Amino acid sequence: MILKFKRCLDIEGVIQAPPSKSYTHRAIILASLAEGESLLFNPLISEDTLATLSACSTLGAKITNFSDYIEVEGVGGKVSPNFEPLIAGVEREPIIDLANSGTSLRLLTSVAALGNNKVIFTGDESLKTRPMANLLNALSDLGVKTESDNGKAPITVYPGFTGGNTSISGDVSSQFISSILISAPLSEKGVDLEVLPEFVSKPYVDMTIDLMNKFSVNVESCENIKHDSCSKDYKSCTVSNFKVEPQMYEGCEYTVEGDYSSCSYLLAACCIFGGEITILNLFKDSKQGDRIILDILSKMGADITCDDSSVTIKSDGNLNAIDTIDLSDAPDLLITVAVLASLAKGRTKIIGIGHTRFKETDRISTTCEELRKCGCELEEFEDYIIINGQTMDRNKEIILSSHKDHRLAMGLILLNLKGYNVSIEDGDVFNVSFPNFIELMKEIGINLKLEYEV
């Protein structure tokens, strides 16, 4: 379907932030591993989190989805995959289809190794391009045997998470680190994990540890300067060390906070067009790396006010470029920030984004490709982009592609707020992470619509 812009007269209102996708994934998994019952309030119910819900159910948890909350009876650390035959007498392959959810794949690969039967994880064509070799290699040191298609899905995970010592590079995905940490307390020996530089998206690991603590598991962590030789021949580097002793998760009640990633589109829309909105359930002390969007919008000219659990933004619609923006810890902001930079007065360099080439798409390549269609003057490099703002052509209608990437669809549609005429092919892909995107945009005054392709 094609996502189109209809109109926007004013941007104003008070709205509730959509729930955090990252926290929802983690909460479902930890509740499923825990001993006893958990109640998860305000979860995000989207295509990605439904993949995690379904997978955790197959791995043995008893889950009831009530939409506004989820009730989970955990497995008490004893993962027991259930692949009952669909037809009596016909053996069923132990396959779990995770669709497009890379987070599910990365976090659950370690979890499956805690079970008593092999599990095969697969998904759509995009999921099968995600590199997993770093995680699989690190898990092999912990007693986990896997088979894969050259380090990519389909991935077969065999039982046997013994634990012990391992190391992993932190330059591809922080979700690999989170995956090992989540399963570590349920291993026989516990885990000592060394993460070598560069450690990208570290706030997501902080988020994982924060949630593990809420489910009664402790993680010890520290950073050390290592001057002798280490993996990848680093001669002097900062390494992060995590130690997790054998422990049991305990069920609890947990409320999912608002998602700064999803709210970036709402906040950016106000900054681009001008107006004032307040978003509730966004916490000042949140561990989400994407909270940096507030600093970015403030430097571009918006007036940002925060209290403990809400954010108010005011803007006159005039955007100033920022010389350099580092998104090392907030990769999901790339497209939002690139769109803002393309509309701002001046030149912006976006750095620390090399790891975004391994997302749903190669986001550096696809973002630059679509902005170039609009006439944007930019330079693309391996791990950064330089964008010259206010260089695009407003005089023609342009159909852009989401490349079936939810963040491209939601980010690129914002160009219309500065008078451009763009529509987005495969625009309904926002359902992956933000199913009520159109409804919340309408609440602040922006009317979008979906049309079937002719």
Report which secondary-structure segment, H or E, holds 280.
strand 275-280
**Contacts with 90 (C-beta within 8 Å, 6 or more apart), sequence order:** none
Give the gyration radius of the chain's Cα atoms: 22
Which is nearest to 267 in space by CA: 324, 315, 209? 315
pLDDT at 88: 63
Exposure of 269 by Cβ count < 10 A (0-12 exposed, 13-18 middle, 19+ buried)?
Answer: buried
Does the reported pTM lie above 0.85? yes
pLDDT at 239: 85
pLDDT at 293: 98
Q: Establish whether 332 is a catalytic residue.
A: yes
Q: For residue 183, which phi and psi values (nearest 5 degrees)?
A: -85, -20
Tokens of 254: 């947990």
Query: What is the Cα–Cα distance from 258 to 252, expressed in whole angstroms?
Result: 19
* Domain limits, CATH 3.65.10.10, in the chain: 2-18+258-451, 21-219
pLDDT at 90: 64
Query: What is the Cα–Cα distance from 398 to 413, expressed in whole angstroms?
Result: 11
pLDDT at 232: 43
Tokens of 83: 């692949």
| Cα three-residue angle 332-20-131, rounded to 5 degrees | 45
Evaluate whether 127 touches 154 at the Cβ level (below 8 Å): no
pLDDT at 85: 67
Evaluate whether 358 touches 173 at the Cβ level (below 8 Å): yes
Per-residue pLDDT of the chain (454 residues; tens, 9 = 90+): 999 999 999 999 999 999 999 999 999 999 999 999 999 999 999 999 999 999 999 999 999 988 789 999 999 999 999 987 656 666 678 999 999 999 999 999 999 999 999 999 999 999 999 999 999 999 999 999 999 999 999 999 999 999 999 999 988 889 999 999 999 999 999 999 999 877 889 999 999 999 999 999 999 998 776 644 444 444 346 789 999 999 999 999 999 999 999 999 999 999 999 999 999 999 999 999 999 999 999 999 999 999 999 999 999 999 999 999 999 999 999 999 999 999 999 999 999 999 999 899 999 999 999 999 999 999 999 999 999 999 998 888 999 999 999 999 999 999 999 999 999 999 999 999 999 999 999 999 999 999 997 6
Class of domain 21-219: alpha beta
CATH of 2-18+258-451, one of 3.50.50.60, 3.65.10.10, 3.90.76.10, 3.30.70.890: 3.65.10.10
Q: Residues 48, 332, 405, 428: which is the catalytic one?
A: 332
Determine the angle formed by the axes of helices 47-58 and 21-33, rounding to 10 degrees.
Answer: 10
Tokens of 260: 């700064």
DSSP 210: H
Query: What is the Cα–Cα distance from 50 to 195, expressed in whole angstroms?
Result: 30
